Structure 1
Amino acid sequence: MKSHYSDAPKAQPILRHTLSVLVDNEPGVLARVVGLFSGRGYNIESLTVSETEHEQHVSRITIVTAGTDQVIEQIRHQLERLVPVHRVTDLTVQGESIERELALVKVAGKGEARVEALRLASAFGARTLDATVTSFVFELTGSSEEIERFLRLMGEVGLVEVSRTGIAAMARGAETI
């Protein structure tokens, strides 16, 4: 006998999406955008915001979140309904995009650990911003995956503290999205 459950729709995968939201640069806009996420139980994995068009007072909010295609579409439509929002673009489905993150990484150590920290920093292309007899502060810009690899390796050498900016993203090509 055939089961009716085999005809049930398959569960959609939960995927990571990067959203670019152009908004008016005015007080309370970020709180409204974040409130939309928290009020509906959506998580924000990364959030960056900065004014990008000074004369027009427009800011870009880059949000990394995860959800099914249906949830991401719902988030996008709800963001578009907010009054100060000009445009919402899902960079993940729009095509290839460039994503970068900046990390400041403090590493402490002496002797061989110190030499290894410098060697790893050089291999990853990290800049040394501060150096003392017992510690370094490195600056690394790259993909989130590259930064994660760097942090794992520095964890074995003497990782003390990390500060990360979150993801900044932009679509490839000449068009403005």
Structure 2
Amino acid sequence: MKRTVTVTVLNQSGVLNRITGLFTKRQFNIESITVGPTETEGISKITFVVHVEDARTAEQVLKQLNKQIDVLKVTDITDQAIVSRELALIKVLTTPQTRAEINVIIEPFRATIIDVAKDSVMIQVVGNFEKIEAMIELLRPYGIKELSRTGQTALTRGSQKQVTELKQYSILK
């Protein structure tokens, strides 16, 4: 089962290493990890997307994270109403004839071309995991020369209505 966990930590040397070491010891696969400063100086937030076996194992991970020095708060936000985003940079092979086609493909995704070379374009897209995956699949036939993704970052919504109620709105998709 995939879980999204946020960890608020003191921004000090070695914190990330100790936390990822915990996942390594327990042999959990980290699918995505992002780290960055928060609105408070000296505090950072880490967002993990991790695979665990079951709810009991997920609870154990949260307890172990809470025991870590420099950890201020641990939250499993998987079942909450959240906004999550990821950035992808995609370098796609092009010819003068295919550039117009690629523009048509990326437009509905609100993606932008941020670099143009003789034989390729670099596209920037921001969105949730599914949006990024869909765009990559549409661009794959043109030839993806290079791809880099940031991993998921997320915040809980201000209003915590039932997630099932919110999913019906297209803004979450």
Q: Provide the TM-score with structure 2 as the length reference.
A: 0.87
* Matched-pair identity in %: 38
Supply the AA of the counterpart residue of 1:34.
Answer: T
Q: SS of the residue aligned with 1:92?
A: coil
Alignment partner of 1:32 is 2:18: yes
* Shift in Å, 1:116: 1.7
Alignment partner of 1:133 is 2:110: no
d(CA) in 2 for partners of 1:106, 1:130: 9
Q: SS of the residue aligned with 1:26?
A: coil
List runs of 5+ in structure 1 lacking aligned partners.
1-14
Kept after mapping to 2: 8 A contact 1:29/1:84: yes
Please name the residue that 1:114 is paired with: 99
Q: Provide the TM-score with structure 1 as the length reference.
A: 0.85
* Shift in Å, 1:54: 4.3
Describe how 1:1-177 pairs up with structure 2 within 5 A. Answer: 15-55=1-41, 57-67=42-52, 68-93=54-79, 95-173=80-158
* Shift in Å, 1:151: 0.5
* Shift in Å, 1:168: 0.6
Kept after mapping to 2: 8 A contact 1:113/1:158: no
Q: Which has the larger radius of gyration?
A: 1
d(CA) in 2 for partners of 1:83, 1:70: 23
List runs of 5+ in structure 2 lacking aligned partners.
161-173
Question: What do residues 31-90 of structure 1 show as CA deviations (whole Å, max 9, x unaligned)?
Answer: 0000000011111000000111343x1100000012211111110000000011001000
Kept after mapping to 2: 8 A contact 1:108/1:114: no
Please name the residue that 1:5 is paired with: none
d(CA) in 1 for partners of 2:13, 2:50: 23
Kept after mapping to 2: 8 A contact 1:116/1:157: no
Question: May I ask how many residue pairs the two structures share in their alignment?
Answer: 159
* Shift in Å, 1:119: 1.2
* Shift in Å, 1:174: 6.3
Kept after mapping to 2: 8 A contact 1:18/1:92: yes
Supply the AA of the counterpart residue of 1:18.
Answer: T
Divergent runs of 4+, >4 A: none
Supply the AA of the counterpart residue of 1:61.
Answer: I
d(CA) in 2 for partners of 1:115, 1:159: 16
